[in-house]
Structure 1
Amino acid sequence: MKNWTRKALLLTVSAAAAAGTLAAAVTPVAHSRPAGPATPRLSWGPCDPVPGTVVPAGQQCATLRVPLDHRVPGGPTVDVAATRLPTDRPEARRGTLLVLPGGPGGSGVRRLAQKGEALRAATEGAYDLVSLDPRGVGSSTRAGCGIPEADRHLVTLRSWPAADGSISANVDRARRTAAACARDGGPVVRSFSTRNQARDMDRLRAALGERKLSVWGHSYGSYAAAVYAQEHPGRVDRLVLDSTGDPDPARVGYGWMVNAGPAVALRFPDFAAWAAYPAREAEGLRLARRAEDVKPLFLALARELDREPKESDVPGVPLTGNGLRQALQNALQSDQAFAPLARLIRSAQGAEGRPVLPPELAGALPDEDAALTMAVVCNDVRWPGPASGYAARVAADRARYPLTAGMPVNIGPCAFWTYDEEPRPTRITGEGPSNVLMIQSLRDPATPLAGALKMRAALGERARMVTVERGGHGMYLGNGNACGDRVVSDFLVTGKRPARDTHCPN
């Protein structure tokens, strides 16, 4: 497999993602050979090292060849990296569980390396665990658009308005980026979509020789899992949707972004309470005496950095106001990120020293990562066009949700995207087996409860939902709520769900 590249999350379904999870321009070439037999074959071997992650003993990797265009099964193909971690209790095995990462842009090989051992223990060895790098990610076939380096920093690829709220630079950048992908992205970039990921998932199921798969989808992966279950209801055994966005087929990724403003506002008080807690004093991380003073402090610092960016530890990459806002949005996904965020704020306040930038802000994103993350949400559905009133929406959103400063509703490359055909996202409905369990934080900064409730309503009697009091993004085996973990594990092992929607306190 290819070497790993540093990734950052552009959308955390991520809502922002991803939700969300975004290399020099590369001209992608799809394989020209026919797709081969109807049932693809997998040749398992050792996985390449995953930087920063210990790959569990026994985790294996393989390459799955899939059609570039599933409507032309004998045409060009692309490679999808697959991985598996067999059960350590063969006598307890009941099937195969597919683990779907968030993003768009998350790696399944990495996620299985990170979560595989804990998941295998939590499910008592009931499953062989499998995952994949969606096309465009990690060791799968990748493609770029030749986006200029200056446009591939997270704070430029994401449409943060200027300090005065103007969006003219965003409009120019969005048009430039969309034109680059139309000109240089080629058929591989045009193939990056949720529907194609679902089709690739079904090819993996066939290659594994499984009639059905159970699926745990996280963040954007929960949307991809729901699409797969809608398209192939008879091929899903048990389905867990963890941290889910609004599935409205008229909006999809655009709707996820719009939800980020209120989602961050709802989550911020958790950080404020943490940053004002007296125990932070000894750690040098107490930002204010009262929790209600943390927000005005943060906003004042962001405005100061708008006026005068502060030189950071990375030459040529200062900490700007939008950089600080982006760091906040990323950090709110987990309480574990509160201390690094407070440390960044402290260093930005000081007259001496240079703030240490989080890795995702320290440099430009690889071209292929930037292209992939944009292409999925743009290819999935048409976004509002450039003349649809973005400036007015940004002004209103900045006033209502100052922590995100209008970014979630701003214009982006999707407003100028070139489509091969009218996108028709899958409509999630209540038609299908009643085999879905949703788990959701009440204060998710990327996929807020309001959006998850729309997924819950769309699924009807197919689903049950467990809400979790703890804030953050990614609940199962992620943010430390034993009650929520137990409900999901019991469902995966026994098939039993709560009789009705339920709640887990901290």
Structure 2
Amino acid sequence: MRKYVVAVLATVMVALLTWQGASAETAPSASPERVSWGECPDGTSLPGLECGTLEVPLDYRDPEGQKIALAISRMASPQPHKRRGVLLTNAGGPGEPGLNYPLVLKYYGVPQSVLDTYDVIGFDPRGVGHSAPVTCDLEGEATATANIPEYALDSADVAERAEYAAEVAEKCGSAATAPMLPHISTANTARDMDRIRAALGEPKISYLGISYGTYLGSVYTTLFPRRSAQIVLDSAMGPKGSGPSASRGFGEGVEDRFPDFAKYLSEHPEYGFGTSVEGIRAKYFEIAARLDAEPRPDGFDGKRFRKVTFEKLYLDQWLPELAEIWRAVETGQPLPQTSPSEAPARQPADNAVAGQLAVLCNDRDWPESVATYQRNVEVDRSRYPMFGAAAANIWPCAFWPTEPSEPPVRINSRGPSNVLIVQNLRDPSTPLSGARELRRAFGERARMITADQGGHLAYLFLKNRCLNDRTTNFLVTGELPRTDVACAAEPNPN
């Protein structure tokens, strides 16, 4: 009987230590499962990529209970004698699958030295893609990525949006996968990452995450600092992660980024908007107000105009397309065809939304009062007049059917100096202020490289050699810059 009690206590202690975070690194564990590599699931089979699965607990408080299968991919180093470990990757979102992301990095020119140094590992996070996908049984336009609410013209708009948000939350709570929803969180995904590390037989992992993936990486290296090697966080969320503050950050981000587009228009007078950056900003408000009062015959209204402008600010390559949209709206011509989505087909169709909402709503305890969002909208309409009244609008998280199962992980400075934050100065999605907050939270654990450029995503996606070379050097050698680095603007060949 005593042996049984000791065994039970040991199991409970392991579960508690794993649940509580960094102390889990000292917890004993059973022999880890190993990954058997083979063909990838339909839709992800591409040359150079092999895939496998790994069972992990649905609920880490009950590690011997229900299991779910994670889909994992590997792009093996072509130089095994040079290989020094694995590089886990995350494509952001939340709600984005990641099996193909190693190949995306290769397509965008990740240096061969990085590919030689690591087996690059992708995975579909829990609840997403081929990793026990969740659903909210949404149809039609509601299956598009949640991303951001629509612009609220007034408090009545917020109340109307609240009715829609409540319907979405109710559907999520009554769908077949609803029992999984409380366990789809950033902290649990970070715990999954440590299970992947163990299954690969690695004492530590390196990591490259973009956008939301920066919060996931921050949580991982906070929970498991001694199991972290090189951690690169590209286009960083603040230390509060994917909650209301991240959504409201879009308003600030548009204000930071829009001057780049206005400058582009001023340098291309053929679009017909003149050469005054200030005048082009004024034109934005003029067009939006006109479309609010009288939408186009095709239904394109002021809310859609603001959201399309926000979306196309993400990349410099999209600015010409945005300029064409503006010109069509201003002249009454048909809207140009936008770039086709390259997102993979999913089953269920609303998995992107369901997976995203599950993480967003579980990571933070969102305000539940509609009046709170009405006040926030008015505050941000004044602070960030271009887009603040959208960024502060209400989400389904206000009506989510479950409460967060644990407090948010608090990012801190305890651990080795092995975190590199890379950031554009003018990012519409994860503004510079959030990256600075994250840098302060990590303290001497981190360094930050900023580049005088605009758009979302810095490493590889924009060809700033100063930022790219230093980031690559850190990944390959582990040498963190001695101080923070400010990279000057460089011509972008794109």
Q: Tell me the TM-score normalised to structure 1 length.
A: 0.84
The answer as to whether partners of 1:380 and 1:425 remain within 8 angstroms in 2 is: yes
The answer as to whether partners of 1:244 and 1:455 remain within 8 angstroms in 2 is: yes
Structure 1 residue 275, shift from structure 2 partner: 1.4
Match of 2:243 in 1: 253
Deviations 1:353-373 (A, max 9, x none): 3443555699x9932221111
Q: Where in structure 2 are there 5+ consecutive unaligned residues?
A: 1-29, 490-494
Match of 1:72 in 2: 62
Deviations 1:313-356 (A, max 9, x none): xxxxx323222211122211210110111112222223343443
Match of 1:42 in 2: 35
2:78 maps to a residue whose letter is D
Match of 1:296 in 2: 282
Match of 1:86 in 2: 76
One of 296, 302, 309 as aligned partner of 2:295: 309
Match of 1:31 in 2: none
Measure, in 2, the Cα distance between the counterparts of 1:157 and 1:468.
25
Match of 2:181 in 1: 189
Q: Does 1:267 align with 2:257?
A: yes
The answer as to whether partners of 2:328 and 2:335 remain within 8 angstroms in 1 is: yes
Deviations 1:159-189 (A, max 9, x none): 2244455312111112222222222241222
Match of 1:347 in 2: 328
Measure, in 1, the Cα distance between the counterparts of 2:226 and 2:294.
58
One of 469, 477, 480 as aligned partner of 1:494: 477
Q: Does 1:394 align with 2:380?
A: no
Measure, in 2, the Cα distance between the counterparts of 1:94 and 1:432.
21
RMSD across aligned positions (CA)? 2.7
* CA 1:426–1:162: 2 relative to 1, 3 Å: closer
Deviations 1:88-143 (A, max 9, x none): 22222111111121110222223222113532515261111111111122222111
Measure, in 1, the Cα distance between the counterparts of 2:355 and 2:488.
37
The answer as to whether partners of 1:348 and 1:355 remain within 8 angstroms in 2 is: no
Structure 1 residue 422, shift from structure 2 partner: 4.8
Structure 1 residue 387, shift from structure 2 partner: 4.8
Measure, in 2, the Cα distance between the counterparts of 1:296 and 1:360.
31
Deviations 1:405-453 (A, max 9, x none): 5011112111122325553011111100111111111111111111111
The answer as to whether partners of 1:319 and 1:357 remain within 8 angstroms in 2 is: no
Match of 2:387 in 1: 404
1:46 maps to a residue whose letter is E
Q: Does 1:485 align with 2:476?
A: no
Match of 1:243 in 2: 235
- Corresponding residue SS for 2:116: coil
- Corresponding residue SS for 1:63: strand
Structure 1 residue 50, shift from structure 2 partner: 5.1
Deviations 1:180-236 (A, max 9, x none): 222224122222110111011111111111111111111111110111111111111
One of 129, 136, 160 as aligned partner of 1:145: 136
Measure, in 2, the Cα distance between the counterparts of 1:209 and 1:361.
34
Q: Does 1:159 align with 2:140?
A: no
- Corresponding residue SS for 1:144: coil
The answer as to whether partners of 1:327 and 1:358 remain within 8 angstroms in 2 is: no
Match of 1:130 in 2: 121
Measure, in 1, the Cα distance between the counterparts of 2:57 and 2:272.
54
How many residue pairs get matched?
456
Measure, in 2, the Cα distance between the counterparts of 1:319 and 1:123.
45
Counterparts of 1:164-183 in structure 2, within 5 Å, are 164=154, 166=156, 167-183=158-174
The answer as to whether partners of 1:374 and 1:414 remain within 8 angstroms in 2 is: yes
Match of 1:329 in 2: 310
Structure 1 residue 257, shift from structure 2 partner: 0.9
- Corresponding residue SS for 1:391: helix
* CA 1:206–1:286: 2 relative to 1, 3 Å: farther
Measure, in 1, the Cα distance between the counterparts of 2:273 and 2:385.
19
2:190 maps to a residue whose letter is A
Q: Does 1:368 align with 2:351?
A: yes
Match of 2:100 in 1: 110
% identity of equivalent residues: 37
The answer as to whether partners of 1:87 and 1:120 remain within 8 angstroms in 2 is: no
2:324 maps to a residue whose letter is R
The answer as to whether partners of 1:277 and 1:286 remain within 8 angstroms in 2 is: no
* CA 1:424–1:113: 2 relative to 1, 3 Å: same
One of 358, 362, 366 as aligned partner of 1:383: 366
- Corresponding residue SS for 1:99: strand
Match of 2:19 in 1: none
* CA 1:496–1:309: 2 relative to 1, 3 Å: same
- Corresponding residue SS for 2:453: coil
Match of 1:206 in 2: 198
2:355 maps to a residue whose letter is L
2:67 maps to a residue whose letter is T
The answer as to whether partners of 1:276 and 1:286 remain within 8 angstroms in 2 is: no
Q: Where in structure 1 are there 5+ consecutive unaligned residues?
A: 1-36, 313-317
Match of 1:475 in 2: 458
Question: For structure 1, which segment, 448-457 or 131-140, has the greater mean C-alpha deviation from structure 2 after superposition?
Answer: 131-140
One of 82, 87, 91 as aligned partner of 1:97: 87
Measure, in 1, the Cα distance between the counterparts of 2:385 and 2:286.
11
* CA 1:492–1:151: 2 relative to 1, 3 Å: closer
Q: Does 1:417 align with 2:408?
A: no
Structure 1 residue 65, shift from structure 2 partner: 2.0
Q: Does 1:215 align with 2:207?
A: yes
The answer as to whether partners of 2:381 and 2:387 remain within 8 angstroms in 1 is: yes
Question: For structure 1, which segment, 76-85 or 418-427, has the greater mean C-alpha deviation from structure 2 after superposition?
Answer: 418-427
* CA 1:218–1:435: 2 relative to 1, 3 Å: same
1:266 maps to a residue whose letter is D
Measure, in 2, the Cα distance between the counterparts of 1:65 and 1:341.
44
The answer as to whether partners of 1:442 and 1:470 remain within 8 angstroms in 2 is: yes
The answer as to whether partners of 1:98 and 1:215 remain within 8 angstroms in 2 is: yes
Measure, in 2, the Cα distance between the counterparts of 1:354 and 1:447.
28
Measure, in 2, the Cα distance between the counterparts of 1:435 and 1:255.
26
Structure 1 residue 253, shift from structure 2 partner: 1.6
